[in-house]
Structure 1
Amino acid sequence: MKKCHTVNLNELRQLGAIRFQSNSQKIIPGDVFVCRQGPNWDSHQSVDEAIQKGAVGVIANKPLDIDIPCLLTPSFSSSVSLINQYYQYPQDKLVQIGVTGTNGKTTVAYCLNALLNRQFKSAYTGTLGCQFSDEQVELDNTTPDAISLLNLFHAMEQSGVTHNVMEVSSHALSQDRVSIVDFDVVVITNIGSDHLDYHRSRDDYIQAKLRLIDRLKPGGVAIVNLDDELALAMIERCRSKARVVTFSMQDPGADLFASDIASSCHGGQFSLSYQEQQFSVSTSLPFTFNIENSLAVLAMLTAMDIEMSAAVEMLATMEHAPGRSEVYPLKNGATAIIDYAHNYDSLLNLLDNVRRHSQGRVYTVIGVTGDRLADAAAIGELCSSHSDYVFFTTDNPLGVCQDTLFAAMGSKLVIGNSSTNPDRQCVIERAVSCLMPDDVLLLCGKGPEKHQYISDNKNDPQPYIGDLAALRLAAGM
């Protein structure tokens, strides 16, 4: 090939690309490397590394002196459009379901996908990776970039997938990562406060979440939680764009209304009012906040044209998402709960529910990620005030000194009911040794993760045994 050889779309097809990759460190032989000039790094400088790793072609935004085929486009967005054309718009061949919210989106998306797979061939894309058919793909972010999404959608289409349930983060909405997707159904579980290190204000965060509604297809369905203080703003955003379906635990005027609610560490029951009919609903998901998540799942199932009676039966046998309110009875009569809760709102919800349903003492193991340093003091104070004892430990410091995180977490404590130790596995072992019958141990923040991001390089995760494995070793499970 001649240097700076520019290929057209037909020649690109002849390369037989395995996939397109914008991260040079993740190139495998047969990939086409896609360059991007970002605010902090221009990946045109990584072309040599991509070629060394086996890239068979490059899509660039400026001429390059290379000896493999290179397709020039005027911008990265143009490159995305080209790849979309290459794949023949695979996202449009799937029923696209988007889930966002400060809390609950993983539970809702993961569980909905599991239930849809009983009638369709569905995929899940989110915090727990991308899962479809026999594929399990690890993801760097809850919502991947547009090129990664196109790779995944193409693979889904090739596997016969008909539905994709996707968690859509505020970062992804703010950065237009899902601009290639027109959703058939969306749900906003709730809007609290989170990621204010990235969003300039809570209003910016709210507006990012609401942008999911703008991604709906004409005539699409928006599922709205009437109990959220921003419900009216969500409904207003849907005006003349979408059909709105509402759910509530407080407002009998909602399309799906839950009453006579009973919940515990082991599940919940409620009476559901829907289209002038009453249904008795059971769920294995613990705590009151999962009643809200269950309502969201039921609403989305009906948006998929599944009869409510069938949806209720499906919900009764629904399993929890990994690392989300996983309840483990221990041999000595205590209970351990593994939960991904890591922001203030989710921790408050979890701790309030545990306090309401526990008879013994509450022990909490918690860390604060490096990007939540500003929230560390409030989180430390919350966990201390709602626990009999709190163990502060490591949870993805992302380059922030762990002692700095510990100091912030302990800065507002008024009682001496805490300790610090960066060795998370050691902390769990010590916490388990404190437990007596009826006590509850909360392992918060990591969920199913088996790594720690000690540095800010997310391509360099450090291995961690995982909270469940650490619990099993400590408790002899």
Structure 2
Amino acid sequence: MKTLRNILQEVEVLQLTGNADQSVAGLAIDSRKVKSGFLFAAIVGWQQDGHQYINTAIANGATVVLCSTLPSTLEEAVTYVLVKNTSEALAIVANEFFNHPSAAVKLVGVTGTNGKTTVATLLFQLFTALGYKCGLISTVKNLIGDEAYTAEHTTPDAISLNGLMRTMVDAGCTHVFMECSSHAIHQHRITGLHFDGALFTNITHDHLDYHKTFDEYIRVKKAFFDGLSADAFAISNADDKRGTIMLQNCNGRRLMYALKTAADFKGKIVENNLTGLIMDINGKEVHFRMIGEFNAYNLLAVYGAAVNLGEDADQVLAVLSNLHGAEGRFDYTVSANEKVIGIVDYAHTPDALLNVLATIKKLQQGNEQVITVVGCGGDRDKTKRPLMAAAACEYSTKAILTSDNPRTEDPQEILNDMLRDMKSEHKRKCVVIADRREAIRTAIMLSQPGDIILVAGKGHEKYQDINGVKHHFDDKEELINNFQELSK
């Protein structure tokens, strides 16, 4: 068991009141999870301030309190550690407490607005197929080899993250691939980790409810690359207009991938249809099972990372050609008799939705209808709501606006935001059905043989969040069940 002095050695402590040589039994940011001998970190969060729960944590057995503001009354039996930023200090403490797990593996982080899950999942699948035992930390699931752990957030809190990585190391993992969300970067959840490589996919408007401005969102993403060590590699998308910005001031090896401009990892789409992609990558032509231009970018990013991790380029391409990507990302099924194509995708930003619809347009072989079912999440960025509706209407034959995860908002108010300032020609294409199950059923009833139905926004999720309660709901399951009814 480590002492407090041990785990504070890399932390800039402003004031320490109490015993620095006591043992620390565990770490917690939730006062309800505190046990005897624990260190409780009072995190100033987006919605709550952990300093309000210091007394509860002490009552539950905390003997150390890490905080950025000292309580007015100090308990004699408790040691108080005052720091400037509790979140940043906790990440360093957690890293030390769990014996620097990130330094014991090849750790690659993936950031960007869209594509993080697919890239991280492909890397996990690729290196597993190459014979390594790997860990995956993603929106969809956390994996240690073939053992799955539920993912509550895109990137876990600093304690859970370091604990999970320690479990991965102890289980024999040599490589770990993780999504690094902007929230996680800003909240210092990944501070102190040793990254061997970092990937940037793209950046579009998202999470402005949290970051407030697009410039701040970009700055936070860039901070991930700014913090890399000189022995790490950083690979960015040269076709994204902020791709080069991400690598400015980066100390690591700076590399680029692209379809449209010169790059270290240069790709060209030769064919793109429902059987997959044929691409030329750095002069080698390869057939991939994955579909769409956005997946061409994802494959290039993965290829670049694998080569920089020392793998043979030809072998990497051979294995990649057989991989399928992440659940709920352009995940399609076909009805038995009518051959209606149903596609489930996580696209929940205007740019992601446009990318998916652009891919579908390229797959069309005639005059098939494209029917899009889409909603917007509650308690999230409201500025993207009318943009999501406009994208769906502009590039679909018919758009059905519906509920996503309303959370604590009224679904109708969310739909009203989506309809705000809608063009008259878009209104003629648009149907509003608040009940998501009914919206999907209606899309299938409106379809003709060979049509394409896109159900966007939730992807892999198996629930619908309504007033804090998660009700079972699976977009792909709904499509399959309705297709079976249609075929009877």
Q: TM-score, normalised by structure 1?
A: 0.87
State the alpha-carbon separation in 1 of the partners of residues 37 and 318 from structure 2. 45
Query: 2:110, 2:201 within 8 Å by CA — same for their partners in 1?
Result: yes
1:85 maps to 2:92: no
User: Structure 1 residues 79, 315: CA separation in 2 closer, same or farther (over 3 Å shift)?
Assistant: closer
1:391-424 Cα distance to aligned partner (Å, 9 max, x none)? 1111122322211111111221423222222321
Match of 2:241 in 1: 229
- What displacement does 1:243 show? 1.4
Segments of structure 2 that go 5 or more residues without pairing to the other structure are 1-16
Match of 1:103 in 2: 114
Query: 1:30, 1:55 within 8 Å by CA — same for their partners in 2?
Result: yes
- What displacement does 1:98 show? 0.9
1:283 maps to 2:288: yes
Name the SS of the counterpart of 1:108 in structure 2.
helix
1:179-227 Cα distance to aligned partner (Å, 9 max, x none)? 1213111111112222222223222221211112112221211112221
Name the SS of the counterpart of 1:372 in structure 2.
coil
Q: TM-score, normalised by structure 2?
A: 0.86
- 1:378 aligned to 383, 387, 407, which one? 387
Query: 1:265, 1:327 within 8 Å by CA — same for their partners in 2?
Result: no
Match of 2:12 in 1: none
Match of 1:72 in 2: 80
Match of 1:188 in 2: 200
- 1:309 aligned to 310, 314, 324, which one? 314
State the alpha-carbon separation in 2 of the partners of residues 396 and 7 from structure 1. 47
What amino acid sits opposite 1:324 in the alignment?
Answer: R
Match of 1:470 in 2: 478
- What displacement does 1:8 show? 5.0
- 1:328 aligned to 330, 333, 342, which one? 333
Match of 1:391 in 2: 400
What amino acid sits opposite 1:22 in the alignment?
Answer: I
Query: 2:233, 2:252 within 8 Å by CA — same for their partners in 1?
Result: yes
Query: 2:40, 2:65 within 8 Å by CA — same for their partners in 1?
Result: yes
Name the SS of the counterpart of 2:121 in structure 1.
helix
User: Structure 1 residues 57, 117: CA separation in 2 closer, same or farther (over 3 Å shift)?
Assistant: farther
Segments of structure 1 that go 5 or more residues without pairing to the other structure are none
Query: 1:44, 1:60 within 8 Å by CA — same for their partners in 2?
Result: no
State the alpha-carbon separation in 2 of the partners of residues 30 and 330 from structure 1. 57
- 1:430 aligned to 442, 452, 467, which one? 442
Name the SS of the counterpart of 1:140 in structure 2.
coil
User: Structure 1 residues 350, 83: CA separation in 2 closer, same or farther (over 3 Å shift)?
Assistant: closer
The alignment covers a number of residue pairs equal to: 455
- What displacement does 1:281 show? 1.3
Match of 2:40 in 1: 34
User: Structure 1 residues 410, 42: CA separation in 2 closer, same or farther (over 3 Å shift)?
Assistant: closer
Query: 2:372, 2:398 within 8 Å by CA — same for their partners in 1?
Result: yes
- What displacement does 1:57 show? 6.1
State the alpha-carbon separation in 1 of the partners of residues 122 and 91 from structure 2. 31
What amino acid sits opposite 2:212 in the alignment?
Answer: R
What amino acid sits opposite 1:242 in the alignment?
Answer: G
Match of 1:364 in 2: 372
- What displacement does 1:134 show? 4.5
- 2:346 aligned to 305, 318, 340, which one? 340
Match of 2:180 in 1: 168
State the alpha-carbon separation in 1 of the partners of residues 61 and 396 from structure 2. 53
1:410 maps to 2:419: yes
State the alpha-carbon separation in 2 of the partners of residues 142 and 199 from structure 1. 17
1:113 maps to 2:156: no
Query: 1:394, 1:423 within 8 Å by CA — same for their partners in 2?
Result: yes
What amino acid sits opposite 2:280 in the alignment?
Answer: S
Name the SS of the counterpart of 2:142 in structure 1.
strand
Query: 1:29, 1:56 within 8 Å by CA — same for their partners in 2?
Result: yes
1:271 maps to 2:280: yes
CA-based RMSD: 2.7
Query: 1:172, 1:178 within 8 Å by CA — same for their partners in 2?
Result: yes
1:357-379 Cα distance to aligned partner (Å, 9 max, x none)? 12310111111112132211121
Query: Which structure 2 residues correspond to residues 101-250 of structure 1 after superposition, within 5 A?
Result: 101-118=112-129, 119-238=131-250, 241-250=251-260
State the alpha-carbon separation in 2 of the partners of residues 56 and 68 from structure 1. 12
